[in-house]
Amino acid sequence: MASFRALRSQYASLLKQFTSSTKEFEVLATVPKNHAPPPKVLYVLDSSFNPPTRAHLRIASSALLEQLESGSHLLLLLATQNADKPSKPAPFEDRLAMMELFAHDVRSHLAARHSSLPASSTEHIPTIDIAVTKKPYFIDKAAAIEASDHYPSPLEQVHLIGYDTLIRIFNTKYYPPEHTLRPLAALFSQHRLRVTLRPGDEWGDREEQEEFLASLARGDRKTEGGQKEWAQKIQLIEGRKPDDPPVSSTRAREAAQSAPENLEWLVPDHVRQFVLSEKPYSTESSGTRI
Protein backbone atom coordinates (compact mmCIF):
# COMPACT_ATOMS: atom_id res chain seq x y z
CA MET A 1 0.00 0.00 0.00
CA ALA A 2 1.31 3.48 -0.86
CA SER A 3 2.17 5.94 1.95
CA PHE A 4 -0.67 8.19 3.12
CA ARG A 5 0.99 11.21 1.55
CA ALA A 6 1.51 9.46 -1.80
CA LEU A 7 -2.08 8.20 -1.77
CA ARG A 8 -3.44 11.65 -1.11
CA SER A 9 -1.40 13.34 -3.83
CA GLN A 10 -2.27 10.60 -6.33
CA TYR A 11 -5.99 11.22 -5.69
CA ALA A 12 -5.58 15.01 -5.71
CA SER A 13 -4.25 14.83 -9.24
CA LEU A 14 -6.88 12.29 -10.45
CA LEU A 15 -9.60 14.45 -8.94
CA LYS A 16 -8.29 17.58 -10.63
CA GLN A 17 -8.46 15.84 -14.01
CA PHE A 18 -11.99 14.59 -13.30
CA THR A 19 -13.22 17.98 -12.11
CA SER A 20 -12.01 19.74 -15.24
CA SER A 21 -13.40 17.01 -17.54
CA THR A 22 -16.97 16.75 -18.86
CA LYS A 23 -17.29 13.26 -17.33
CA GLU A 24 -20.13 12.64 -14.89
CA PHE A 25 -18.66 9.43 -13.42
CA GLU A 26 -15.18 7.92 -13.33
CA VAL A 27 -13.50 4.95 -11.67
CA LEU A 28 -10.22 6.29 -10.26
CA ALA A 29 -8.75 3.10 -8.78
CA THR A 30 -9.42 -0.60 -8.22
CA VAL A 31 -8.44 -2.80 -5.24
CA PRO A 32 -6.76 -5.17 -5.94
CA LYS A 33 -5.22 -3.74 -9.10
CA ASN A 34 -5.08 -7.02 -11.07
CA HIS A 35 -7.68 -7.85 -13.69
CA ALA A 36 -11.03 -9.02 -12.28
CA PRO A 37 -13.83 -10.98 -14.00
CA PRO A 38 -16.71 -8.76 -15.17
CA PRO A 39 -19.25 -8.20 -12.38
CA LYS A 40 -22.61 -10.01 -12.43
CA VAL A 41 -24.13 -7.56 -9.98
CA LEU A 42 -22.67 -4.23 -8.93
CA TYR A 43 -23.07 -3.28 -5.26
CA VAL A 44 -22.80 0.49 -4.92
CA LEU A 45 -22.03 2.28 -1.65
CA ASP A 46 -22.50 5.99 -2.20
CA SER A 47 -21.34 8.09 0.72
CA SER A 48 -19.56 11.25 1.75
CA PHE A 49 -16.89 8.96 3.31
CA ASN A 50 -16.15 11.74 5.79
CA PRO A 51 -14.75 9.43 7.18
CA PRO A 52 -15.80 5.85 6.24
CA THR A 53 -17.14 4.22 9.44
CA ARG A 54 -17.81 0.80 10.88
CA ALA A 55 -21.49 1.32 9.89
CA HIS A 56 -20.38 1.62 6.24
CA LEU A 57 -18.26 -1.51 6.78
CA ARG A 58 -21.26 -3.44 8.08
CA ILE A 59 -23.55 -2.21 5.28
CA ALA A 60 -21.07 -3.24 2.58
CA SER A 61 -19.86 -6.52 4.06
CA SER A 62 -23.31 -7.83 5.03
CA ALA A 63 -24.45 -7.36 1.40
CA LEU A 64 -21.34 -8.97 -0.04
CA LEU A 65 -21.41 -11.88 2.43
CA GLU A 66 -24.94 -12.73 1.28
CA GLN A 67 -23.61 -13.68 -2.13
CA LEU A 68 -19.89 -14.26 -2.13
CA GLU A 69 -19.21 -15.56 -5.60
CA SER A 70 -16.62 -15.02 -8.24
CA GLY A 71 -17.38 -11.72 -9.94
CA SER A 72 -18.97 -10.00 -6.95
CA HIS A 73 -18.02 -6.36 -7.14
CA LEU A 74 -18.31 -3.31 -4.90
CA LEU A 75 -18.23 0.29 -6.06
CA LEU A 76 -17.40 2.97 -3.47
CA LEU A 77 -18.82 6.19 -4.87
CA LEU A 78 -18.03 9.72 -3.73
CA ALA A 79 -20.23 12.52 -5.03
CA THR A 80 -18.40 15.81 -5.37
CA GLN A 81 -21.77 17.50 -4.99
CA ASN A 82 -24.20 16.56 -2.23
CA ALA A 83 -27.98 16.94 -2.49
CA ASP A 84 -28.20 18.83 0.82
CA LYS A 85 -24.91 19.33 2.62
CA PRO A 86 -22.35 22.04 1.81
CA SER A 87 -18.75 20.82 1.38
CA LYS A 88 -16.73 20.66 4.59
CA PRO A 89 -13.47 19.07 5.78
CA ALA A 90 -11.98 16.62 5.05
CA PRO A 91 -10.86 17.60 1.54
CA PHE A 92 -11.94 15.20 -1.20
CA GLU A 93 -8.42 13.83 -1.78
CA ASP A 94 -8.31 12.78 1.90
CA ARG A 95 -11.71 11.09 1.56
CA LEU A 96 -10.59 9.24 -1.58
CA ALA A 97 -7.44 8.09 0.21
CA MET A 98 -9.66 6.89 3.10
CA MET A 99 -11.94 5.10 0.58
CA GLU A 100 -8.96 3.12 -0.69
CA LEU A 101 -7.93 2.25 2.87
CA PHE A 102 -11.56 1.35 3.61
CA ALA A 103 -11.51 -1.00 0.56
CA HIS A 104 -8.66 -2.88 2.25
CA ASP A 105 -10.66 -2.94 5.50
CA VAL A 106 -13.68 -4.44 3.70
CA ARG A 107 -11.56 -7.10 1.98
CA SER A 108 -9.78 -8.04 5.25
CA HIS A 109 -13.12 -8.23 7.05
CA LEU A 110 -14.58 -10.53 4.38
CA ALA A 111 -11.43 -12.66 4.27
CA ALA A 112 -11.54 -13.10 8.06
CA ARG A 113 -15.23 -14.07 7.95
CA HIS A 114 -14.41 -16.61 5.27
CA SER A 115 -11.22 -18.04 6.71
CA SER A 116 -13.01 -21.38 7.15
CA LEU A 117 -13.41 -21.76 3.39
CA PRO A 118 -10.78 -23.43 1.16
CA ALA A 119 -7.91 -21.17 0.04
CA SER A 120 -9.24 -21.04 -3.53
CA SER A 121 -12.27 -19.11 -2.30
CA THR A 122 -10.16 -15.98 -1.73
CA GLU A 123 -10.91 -15.36 -5.40
CA HIS A 124 -14.46 -14.71 -4.19
CA ILE A 125 -13.35 -11.73 -2.12
CA PRO A 126 -14.78 -8.89 -4.19
CA THR A 127 -12.92 -6.41 -6.28
CA ILE A 128 -13.58 -2.86 -5.08
CA ASP A 129 -13.67 0.20 -7.32
CA ILE A 130 -13.16 3.74 -6.05
CA ALA A 131 -15.08 6.26 -8.12
CA VAL A 132 -16.37 9.82 -8.23
CA THR A 133 -19.48 11.38 -9.69
CA LYS A 134 -20.70 14.93 -10.12
CA LYS A 135 -24.30 13.79 -9.68
CA PRO A 136 -25.97 14.19 -6.27
CA TYR A 137 -29.21 12.23 -6.93
CA PHE A 138 -29.48 8.46 -7.08
CA ILE A 139 -31.43 8.38 -10.35
CA ASP A 140 -28.62 10.32 -12.03
CA LYS A 141 -25.82 8.40 -10.31
CA ALA A 142 -27.33 5.11 -11.54
CA ALA A 143 -27.68 6.47 -15.09
CA ALA A 144 -24.09 7.79 -15.06
CA ILE A 145 -22.79 4.35 -13.98
CA GLU A 146 -24.91 2.68 -16.71
CA ALA A 147 -23.55 5.07 -19.32
CA SER A 148 -19.90 4.55 -18.35
CA ASP A 149 -17.91 2.10 -20.45
CA HIS A 150 -16.26 0.71 -17.32
CA TYR A 151 -18.88 -2.03 -16.76
CA PRO A 152 -20.72 -4.49 -19.00
CA SER A 153 -24.23 -3.50 -19.96
CA PRO A 154 -26.90 -4.23 -18.84
CA LEU A 155 -25.74 -4.66 -15.24
CA GLU A 156 -27.96 -4.66 -12.18
CA GLN A 157 -26.89 -2.15 -9.51
CA VAL A 158 -27.74 -2.74 -5.86
CA HIS A 159 -27.48 0.57 -4.01
CA LEU A 160 -26.52 0.11 -0.36
CA ILE A 161 -28.15 2.87 1.64
CA GLY A 162 -29.46 3.64 5.11
CA TYR A 163 -33.10 4.37 6.00
CA ASP A 164 -32.47 8.14 6.23
CA THR A 165 -31.40 8.09 2.58
CA LEU A 166 -34.40 5.96 1.52
CA ILE A 167 -36.85 8.56 2.76
CA ARG A 168 -34.95 11.28 0.94
CA ILE A 169 -34.98 9.29 -2.32
CA PHE A 170 -38.78 9.21 -1.91
CA ASN A 171 -39.07 12.94 -1.23
CA THR A 172 -40.63 14.71 -4.24
CA LYS A 173 -38.80 17.96 -3.43
CA TYR A 174 -35.75 16.54 -5.22
CA TYR A 175 -37.56 16.06 -8.54
CA PRO A 176 -38.39 19.40 -10.18
CA PRO A 177 -40.17 20.69 -12.13
CA GLU A 178 -43.12 18.30 -11.59
CA HIS A 179 -42.15 17.19 -8.09
CA THR A 180 -43.49 13.64 -8.47
CA LEU A 181 -41.86 10.24 -7.87
CA ARG A 182 -42.13 9.30 -11.57
CA PRO A 183 -38.38 9.82 -12.30
CA LEU A 184 -37.70 6.87 -9.96
CA ALA A 185 -39.22 4.46 -12.52
CA ALA A 186 -35.92 4.40 -14.46
CA LEU A 187 -34.03 3.41 -11.29
CA PHE A 188 -36.39 0.59 -10.30
CA SER A 189 -36.73 -0.79 -13.83
CA GLN A 190 -33.16 -2.16 -13.61
CA HIS A 191 -31.79 -1.67 -10.13
CA ARG A 192 -32.48 -2.39 -6.45
CA LEU A 193 -32.04 -0.72 -3.07
CA ARG A 194 -30.72 -2.60 -0.03
CA VAL A 195 -31.64 -0.47 2.94
CA THR A 196 -30.15 -0.76 6.43
CA LEU A 197 -32.58 0.33 9.14
CA ARG A 198 -31.34 3.28 11.18
CA PRO A 199 -33.57 3.46 14.26
CA GLY A 200 -33.20 6.61 16.33
CA ASP A 201 -34.93 9.79 17.41
CA GLU A 202 -34.51 11.43 14.03
CA TRP A 203 -35.99 8.70 11.83
CA GLY A 204 -38.31 6.75 14.12
CA ASP A 205 -38.17 3.23 15.51
CA ARG A 206 -37.91 -0.01 13.57
CA GLU A 207 -41.70 -0.42 13.21
CA GLU A 208 -42.07 3.09 11.74
CA GLN A 209 -39.27 2.41 9.27
CA GLU A 210 -40.84 -0.92 8.20
CA GLU A 211 -44.18 0.85 7.80
CA PHE A 212 -42.63 3.21 5.22
CA LEU A 213 -42.05 0.26 2.86
CA ALA A 214 -45.38 -1.42 3.72
CA SER A 215 -47.15 1.81 2.80
CA LEU A 216 -45.40 1.96 -0.59
CA ALA A 217 -46.36 -1.71 -1.18
CA ARG A 218 -50.02 -0.91 -0.42
CA GLY A 219 -50.00 1.76 -3.16
CA ASP A 220 -50.20 4.73 -0.77
CA ARG A 221 -47.71 6.75 -2.90
CA LYS A 222 -49.72 6.32 -6.13
CA THR A 223 -51.02 9.89 -6.24
CA GLU A 224 -47.40 11.12 -6.14
CA GLY A 225 -46.43 8.78 -9.01
CA GLY A 226 -44.95 6.03 -6.80
CA GLN A 227 -45.61 2.45 -7.94
CA LYS A 228 -46.35 -0.25 -5.37
CA GLU A 229 -44.29 -2.80 -7.40
CA TRP A 230 -41.16 -0.84 -6.50
CA ALA A 231 -41.44 -2.20 -2.96
CA GLN A 232 -40.28 -5.59 -4.30
CA LYS A 233 -37.02 -3.95 -5.36
CA ILE A 234 -36.34 -2.64 -1.87
CA GLN A 235 -34.86 -4.95 0.77
CA LEU A 236 -34.81 -3.86 4.41
CA ILE A 237 -31.91 -5.06 6.54
CA GLU A 238 -31.55 -5.05 10.33
CA GLY A 239 -29.29 -2.21 11.53
CA ARG A 240 -27.48 -1.86 14.82
CA LYS A 241 -28.75 -3.73 17.89
CA PRO A 242 -30.72 -1.52 20.32
CA ASP A 243 -27.87 -1.63 22.88
CA ASP A 244 -25.13 -0.75 20.38
CA PRO A 245 -24.14 2.93 20.29
CA PRO A 246 -25.07 4.68 17.02
CA VAL A 247 -22.20 5.04 14.57
CA SER A 248 -21.98 7.93 12.12
CA SER A 249 -19.35 9.95 10.31
CA THR A 250 -20.35 12.96 12.43
CA ARG A 251 -19.48 11.02 15.60
CA ALA A 252 -16.19 9.90 14.07
CA ARG A 253 -15.25 13.50 13.17
CA GLU A 254 -16.10 14.59 16.72
CA ALA A 255 -14.05 11.72 18.17
CA ALA A 256 -11.08 12.67 15.97
CA GLN A 257 -11.14 16.11 17.57
CA SER A 258 -11.89 15.36 21.19
CA ALA A 259 -11.93 11.62 22.03
CA PRO A 260 -9.59 9.71 19.67
CA GLU A 261 -9.93 6.54 21.79
CA ASN A 262 -13.50 6.23 20.44
CA LEU A 263 -12.20 5.91 16.88
CA GLU A 264 -11.48 2.27 17.71
CA TRP A 265 -15.19 1.36 17.56
CA LEU A 266 -16.28 4.10 15.15
CA VAL A 267 -14.00 3.51 12.17
CA PRO A 268 -12.20 0.46 10.75
CA ASP A 269 -8.46 -0.07 11.32
CA HIS A 270 -6.82 1.32 8.16
CA VAL A 271 -9.09 4.37 8.23
CA ARG A 272 -8.29 4.95 11.91
CA GLN A 273 -4.55 4.90 11.20
CA PHE A 274 -5.06 7.56 8.50
CA VAL A 275 -7.21 9.76 10.76
CA LEU A 276 -4.71 9.54 13.64
CA SER A 277 -1.68 10.16 11.46
CA GLU A 278 -2.95 12.71 8.94
CA LYS A 279 -5.40 14.53 11.22
CA PRO A 280 -7.87 15.52 8.45
CA TYR A 281 -10.35 16.81 11.06
CA SER A 282 -7.95 18.92 13.07
CA THR A 283 -8.93 22.58 12.93
CA GLU A 284 -5.43 23.46 11.70
CA SER A 285 -5.38 21.02 8.76
CA SER A 286 -5.67 22.51 5.28
CA GLY A 287 -6.16 21.11 1.77
CA THR A 288 -8.03 21.49 -1.47
CA ARG A 289 -11.70 22.26 -0.88
CA ILE A 290 -14.11 21.93 -3.77
Ligand X SMILES: NC(=O)c1ccc[n+]([C@@H]2O[C@H](COP(=O)(O)O)[C@@H](O)[C@H]2O)c1
Q: Which residues bind ligand ATP (CB under 6 A)?
A: 47-48, 50, 53, 55-56, 59, 161-162, 164-165, 196, 198, 239, 246-250
Q: Strand locations in 197-265, DSSP E?
A: 234-237
Q: Which of 245, 16, 125, 107 is nearest to 254 (CA)?
A: 245
Q: Which of residues 89-128 bind ligand X (CB under 6 A)?
A: none
Binding of ligand X at residue 196 (CB under 6 A)? no
Binding of ligand X at residue 202 (CB under 6 A)? no
Which does residue 79 bind out of ligand ATP, ligand X, none, counting CB within 5 to 8 angstroms by kind?
ligand X
CB within 8 Å of 105: residues ≥ 6 apart: 52, 57, 268, 269, 270, 271
Q: Which lies closer to ligand ATP via its Cβ, residue 168 or residue 228?
A: 168
Binding of ligand X at residue 151 (CB under 6 A)? no
Min. distance of Cβ 118 from ligand ATP in angstroms? 33
Which does residue 105 bind out of ligand X, ligand ATP, none, counting CB within 5 to 8 angstroms by kind?
none
> What does the per-residue mask of binding to ligand X show for 204-233, with x meaning CB under 6 A?
------------------------------
Q: Which lies closer to ligand ATP via its Cβ, residue 123 or residue 264?
A: 264
Binding of ligand X at residue 137 (CB under 6 A)? yes
Which does residue 82 bind out of ligand ATP, ligand X, none, counting CB within 5 to 8 angstroms by kind?
ligand X
Say whether the peptide bond before residue 199 is cis (omega within 30 degrees of 0): no
Q: Which lies closer to ligand X via its Cβ, residue 110 or residue 169?
A: 169
Strands 73-79 and 41-47: parallel
Binding of ligand X at residue 80 (CB under 6 A)? no
Min. distance of Cβ 99 from ligand X in angstroms? 13
Q: Which of residues 60-79 bind ligand X (CB under 6 A)?
A: 79
Which does residue 239 bind out of ligand ATP, ligand X, none, counting CB within 5 to 8 angstroms by kind?
ligand ATP
The angle that helices 92-113 and 54-66 make with each other, rounded to 10 degrees, is 50
**Residue of 169, 193, 247, 267 that binds ligand X (CB under 6 A):** 169
The angle that helices 269-278 and 4-20 make with each other, rounded to 10 degrees, is 90
Q: How far is CA 256 from CA 54, 93, 262, 275, 283, in A?
A: 15, 18, 8, 7, 11
Instruction: Compute the distance between CA of residue 78 and CA of residue 129 in angstroms, rounded to an integer.
Output: 11
Q: Which of 228, 267, 261, 284 is nearest to 102 (CA)?
A: 267
Instruction: Compute the distance between CA of residue 23 and CA of residue 52 in angstroms, rounded to an integer.
Output: 25
3-state secondary structure of 240: coil
Q: Which residues bind ligand X (CB under 6 A)?
A: 46, 48, 79, 82-85, 136-138, 165, 168-169, 174
